[in-house]
Amino acid sequence: MTMMNKPVGIIGTGSFLPDNVVTNFDLEKMVDTNDQWIRERTGIEERRIAPEGMNTSYMATEAAKKAMQMANVSAEDIDMIIFATLTPDMIIPSAACVLQANLGAKNAAAYDLQAACSGFVYGLITAASYIGSGIYKKVLVVGAEILSRRVNWNDRGTCILFGDGAGAAVVSEVPEGYGIKGIDMGADGTGGSALCIPAGGTAVVANDQRVEEGLTFIHMDGPEVYKFAVKTMGRTVLKSLERADMELNELDYFIPHQANIRIIDSAAKRLHLPMEKVFVNLHKYGNTSAASVAIALDEANREGRFKRGDNVAFAGFGAGLTWASLVLKWY
């Protein structure tokens, strides 16, 4: 059973990473941590940090241009922009509208989607739904974050994990037999406090005192999030495979959210996948939230990791708590 009325797939990918690299050794000078500890527990060796003056929308624009170039579509061809982020340039206008203006995509509807680290996969599924129902033809899905401005650089539990970057994909109808075959999305709002930024919304307004107290930064219950991720990542892919009417042994490649190498290993084992069929760039970029799967997809695509007809799974999990996955036959 295919999940879509029309075959919908990805026809172009792009990504952008700031040049500025911060290594584990750099972090040793800032907080009480060390390279070995970080590598053994997370798999992260370095991350990219956006310089002052570079915004989320700028990185998204660069990634989007590359995806559109690969897809051979112009800005005017884009019907809709879905921008997954938890670090937009500002609250209003949306990052998607800033991106629309940057690209000159004057025919596109545009909005932001907030599902944290699951956001890009949520966005792909949403885009496919618009195209599958015949409402739109070409949808640009972007995941971009500047998490370095949302972490407390004195908190060794979180500042070691996150990085900045952007990724994009153009979603379109593809020939019969290709494209998205199965999806799964979900949320468990009861776990929301395990990963949150307490201040900055309307419940706790951001002011100098709240900044001083660290309430405008990411707060994370590491063990809780780890348990949730290990339980969720493999399970959501299995559900997408089931909906695609596909067996585990038919899966050719897996692009997981890049949060922690132990979580990725655990999901690979559950899916009976050797690590050479799992894409990992966590060691270079850390956790880039909504950009993570998007950047990994573009790198894997440009490195030729999968070919036409391969069955590829994507999966994300994150704050909310949320999760999402899809399985597609690559075109």
Residues 159 and 284 in one domain: no
Q: Which of 157, 177, 197 is the last residue of a domain?
A: 177
Query: Residue 5: what pLDDT?
Result: 81
- Tens digit of each residue's pLDDT (9 = 90 or more) over 241-259: 999 999 999 999 999 999 9
Residues 161 and 12 in one domain: yes
Residue of 24, 257, 260, 301 with catalytic role: 257
Residues 169 and 217 in one domain: no
Residues 299 and 199 in one domain: yes
Rounded mean pLDDT, 150-177:
96
257 as an active site residue: the answer is yes
CA distances from 64 to 8, 14, 79, 81, 141 (A): 19, 6, 14, 10, 8
Apex CA 139: angle with CA 133 and CA 142, to 5°? 135
DSSP string, 257-324: --S-HHHHHHHHHHTT--GGGB---HHHH-B-GGGHHHHHHHHHHHTT-S-TT-EEEEEEEETTTEEE
219 as an active site residue: the answer is no
Handedness of CA 182, 165, 75, 126 (dihedral sign): positive
Q: Which of 177, 200, 217 is the last residue of a domain?
A: 177
Residues 12 and 131 in one domain: yes
Residues 53 and 160 in one domain: yes
Query: Residue 3: what pLDDT?
Result: 56
Q: Assess if residue 2 is contained within a domain.
A: no
Q: Assess if residue 105 is contained within a domain.
A: yes
272 as an active site residue: the answer is no
What CATH number did the domain enclosing 260 receive? Answer: 3.40.47.10
Query: Residue 4: what pLDDT?
Result: 63
Separation CA 309–CA 252 (nearest Å): 10
- Tens digit of each residue's pLDDT (9 = 90 or more) over 256-282: 999 999 999 999 999 999 999 999 999
Residue of 55, 117, 301, 311 with catalytic role: 117
| Structure-block tokens of residue 116 | 């944290």
Residues 121 and 157 in one domain: yes
Residue of 24, 281, 287, 311 with catalytic role: 287
Q: Assess if residue 115 is contained within a domain.
A: yes
Residues 168 and 201 in one domain: no
Rounded mean pLDDT, 70-84:
98
- Tens digit of each residue's pLDDT (9 = 90 or more) over 47-63: 999 999 999 999 999 99
Query: Residue 287: what pLDDT?
Result: 98
Separation CA 95–CA 64 (nearest Å): 13
Query: Residue 262: what pLDDT?
Result: 94
Return the percentage of the chain with pLDDT > 90, whole number.
98
Q: Which domain holds residue 60?
A: 8-177
Residue 216's pLDDT band, with cuts at 50, 70 and 90, is: very high
Residue 1's pLDDT band, with cuts at 50, 70 and 90, is: very low
Q: Assess if residue 1 is contained within a domain.
A: no
Rounded mean pLDDT, 64-77:
98
Give residue for tokens 């509208």.
97
Residues 19 and 168 in one domain: yes
| Structure-block tokens of residue 291 | 């950009």
| Structure-block tokens of residue 326 | 């899809």
Residue 278: phi and psi, rounded to 5, are -120, 130
- Tens digit of each residue's pLDDT (9 = 90 or more) over 98-110: 999 999 999 999 9
Q: Assess if residue 206 is contained within a domain.
A: yes
Domain tally, the chain: 2
- Tens digit of each residue's pLDDT (9 = 90 or more) over 275-329: 999 999 999 999 999 999 999 999 999 999 999 999 999 999 999 999 999 999 9
Residues 173 and 259 in one domain: no
Residues 297 and 312 in one domain: yes
Q: What's the mean per-residue pLDDT of the chain?
A: 96
Residues 205 and 320 in one domain: yes
Contact 305, 276 (CB under 8 A): no
Cα–chain center distance at 205: 27
Q: Which of 115, 145, 177 is the last residue of a domain?
A: 177
